[in-house]
Amino acid sequence: MFKAENIVSQVLENCAISDSRQAGLFSVCGLVLRMRDLYKWEKGFAPWAEEESSELLKWIGYKEELWETLEEKDFREISILGRDYDPFNVDEINAALEPHGLFYGAGFARSLQPSFLLARVEEKRRIDGCRVYILGRELARDLLTVPAFSQDNCIFIRKEAAEFFLWDQILFVNRPGQTALKFALEDYGLKAQDRYALREHLARISAAEMETYLYHELGEIKESVFDRDIWRNIVGTFPHTPIELLTRSVKDLLADTNEYGRLSYITRERKTASLGLCVAFSDGLKRELFPELTEAFGEFIQTRNWQIIEEATSIGYRRAEQYAQELCSLYVSGKEKGDMHWAEEEIENRLLRPLGLGVKRTEGEEIETK
């Protein structure tokens, strides 16, 4: 007899093993933020709920002790109705789980570290030849809080994680993004500083933004400039470095600015609030790579001229295309030379330093990527 709880316990174990391996890759602030989200999910709390700090610290201590016992442990197979599956055999596992309304996810996230998910499926549909799954209640998850992801030609929207993601993004928006955030929330009928109203309307805003996540993933699937195998090899060769950060940011920019992507969708549908949130949450390297979006948005606030956003989107795409081509060229050249140190230095000198980044890090300094 099929029992969902048996599957949940197996996936949760692999999630814990995954977390034990990933924890050291995050900055201190990044790890604390992700652990807060995981704690709230485990307790069934809303994104804005805050536990007593003593309780949270006790839980973090317990997790860290658990992770120490799991660091060297292999991922367990997933047993369903007497048959054992490799934990990364998502196709066969999902074939077994789909009749029961469940979705299983297993893949590689930042620095190509494994990530796992088990959730209930709320809705299925298709868009531009891709299957779309809207996931509801999450039964097992790890530290990774992303609103959406894609595998092959499938797009998965995580409704629960999307609300946590949106709340955190709004709560920790940086100073340059505050004007755009205020614009977006006012377009949704809220005042930026009114957290009580935001709590009340968070689910509504998150649901409205779901399509923007979908189109980012669609843009990523349809994007063909950045060779996928080379992209994976670059990330695998230079994990948890500014090179990985640049490589992921370029890929995201291509996904957002191509004809299928998020900015094209926002412009086509005239979604002013979504544009504001896109600008507000574009920080760090993404803002450095695509400053035209922020500049165009400043003019858009005054004119509501969507052509300005279209022109900026085209500029962003062309720049991302140039970065992708040069990253691929330098990596391939380094591979042919048998000298990845050469490739690393060339990428640093040609691409990273002009953006204010370097490959080398001082002791204790960490690079935060998403």
- For the entire predicted model, the pTM comes to 0.92
Per-residue pLDDT tens over the stretch 287-337: 999 999 999 999 999 999 999 999 999 999 999 999 999 999 999 999 999
Per-residue pLDDT tens over the stretch 42-61: 999 999 998 888 999 999 99
For residue 279, what pLDDT is reported?
A: 97
> What mean pLDDT do residues 148-167 have?
95
Q: What does the alpha-carbon distance between residue 20 and residue 151 come to, in Å, rounded to a whole number? A: 24
Per-residue pLDDT tens over the stretch 158-178: 999 999 999 999 999 999 999
Task: Please choose, from the candidates 205, 217, 236, 243, the residue with its C-alpha nearest in 3D space to the C-alpha of residue 326.
Answer: 243
Q: What does the alpha-carbon distance between residue 249 and residue 229 come to, in Å, rounded to a whole number? A: 17
In this structure, are residues 160 and 167 in contact, taking their beta carbons and an 8 Å threshold?
no
Which two three-digit tokens encode residue 120?
A: 């209930």
Examine the pLDDT at 355 and tell me if it is beyond 80.
yes
In this structure, are residues 23 and 31 in contact, taking their beta carbons and an 8 Å threshold?
yes
Per-residue pLDDT tens over the stretch 67-91: 999 988 999 999 999 999 999 999 9
Q: What does the alpha-carbon distance between residue 260 and residue 222 come to, in Å, rounded to a whole number? A: 7
Phi and psi angles of residue 189, each rounded to the nearest 5 degrees, phi first:
90, 20
Q: 356 — alpha (psi -120 to 50), left (phi > 0) or beta?
A: left
> What mean pLDDT do residues 137-142 have?
97
Helix (H), strand (E) counts: the chain: 15, 7
Q: What does the alpha-carbon distance between residue 111 and residue 130 come to, in Å, rounded to a whole number? A: 26
368 band by pLDDT with thresholds 50, 70 and 90: very low
Per-residue pLDDT tens over the stretch 222-270: 999 999 999 999 999 998 899 999 999 999 999 999 999 999 999 999 9
Per-residue pLDDT tens over the stretch 174-211: 999 999 999 999 999 998 678 899 999 999 999 999 99
Instruction: Tell me how far apart the terminal alpha carbons of the chain are, to the nearest angstrom.
Output: 40
17 band by pLDDT with thresholds 50, 70 and 90: very high
For residue 369, what pLDDT is reported?
A: 37
What is the secondary structure of 316-332 as a DSSP string? HHHHHHHHHHHHHHHHH
